[in-house]
A and B are shown apart, each in its own frame.
Chain A
Amino acid sequence: DTAVSQTPKYLVTQMGNDKSIKCEQNLGHDTMYWYKQDSKKFLKIMFSYNNKELIINETVPNRFSPKSPDKAHLNLHINSLELGDSAVYFCASSQGRGPFTDTQYFGPGTRLTVL
């Protein structure tokens, strides 16, 4: 009965590869997010989708592309992986349109290691 789930939990890959991380929420929430947490534990928002519409797009390399097939899913595809992409990526969801008023519920995180 996991509320926000992510797969895979761990991802180890070579530089230059393309990889995807999947996220699903069963909370019936309208908004989903991707965050990046670096090795110093700093959390930064990357993207947010509301009902499949992109509403937040922070300054991230265009190698990162989110895809939301429906409001319960938000996947993150990363092209041409670089060493600096190594981090923990968290998916989150919230009830309304954005984190302004709504509590975000986070997935367990995906630890990406680029070798």
Chain B
Amino acid sequence: AQKVTQAQTEISVVEKEDVTLDCVYETRDTTYYLFWYKQPPSGELVFLIRRNSFDEQNEISGRYSWNFQKSTSSFNFTITASQVVDSAVYFCALSGRTNAGKSTFGDGTTLTVKP
């Protein structure tokens, strides 16, 4: 079985603050993939990043960065200098081979960035 936990249901910050969205996962697979998706108020789901279980390097893309730590089964997402346009629901997802390749999504974290 695999599970993704996003313990933060809602986060509210003021523009320009840094914010970290937590994602903790469980899987028995040794090979798996982790994803982050963004769902803005308009409703579409936008792919942000994919990381495989053998690559623990942190990744930075502009104001976005991801911290993958296998030791704590976490794949956290940080937005630096947040902006109002970052307001969205963010989903972390996990795919492992033994779950028939199905993705398991966390319940999402709603981020509100206030001006």
Q: A100-B33, A101-B33 are in contact. Are A108 and B44 (CB under 8 A)?
A: yes
Smallest Cβ-Cβ distance to B104: which chain A residue: A45
A-B interface pairs (CB < 8 A), number? 62
Measured between alpha carbons, how far is A107 from B44 in the docked complex, in Å?
7
Is A90 within 8 A of B45, CB to CB?
yes
Smallest Cβ-Cβ distance to A106: which chain B residue: B45
Smallest Cβ-Cβ distance to B109: which chain A residue: A41
Least CB distance, B27 to chain A, in whole angstroms: 11
The stretch of B14-22, B61-69, B72-80, B94-102 that contacts the partner chain? B94-102
Measured between alpha carbons, how far is A101 from B8 in the docked complex, in Å?
26
Smallest Cβ-Cβ distance to B50: which chain A residue: A103
A78 within 8 A of B: no
B113 within 8 A of A: no
Least CB distance, A94 to chain B, in whole angstroms: 10
| Proximity bits, A101-115, B CB within 8 Å = 1, else 0 | 101111111010000
| Count of A interface residues, CB-CB < 8 Å | 26
Is A98 within 8 A of B102, CB to CB?
yes
Measured between alpha carbons, how far is A97 from B100 in the docked complex, in Å?
10
Is B103 within 8 A of A104, CB to CB?
yes
A81 within 8 A of B: no
Least CB distance, B12 to chain A, in whole angstroms: 16
Q: Chain B residues in contact with chain A, CB under 8 A? A: 32-33, 35, 37, 39, 43-47, 50, 52, 89, 91, 95-97, 100-103, 105, 107-108, 110
Listed by A's residue number, 11 A-B pairs whose Cβ atoms lie within 8 Å are A41-B110, A98-B100, A99-B102, A100-B32, A101-B33, A104-B35, A104-B47, A104-B103, A106-B44, A106-B45, A108-B43
Q: Chain A residues in contact with chain B, CB under 8 A? A: 40-45, 48, 55-56, 58, 88, 90, 92, 97-101, 103-109, 111
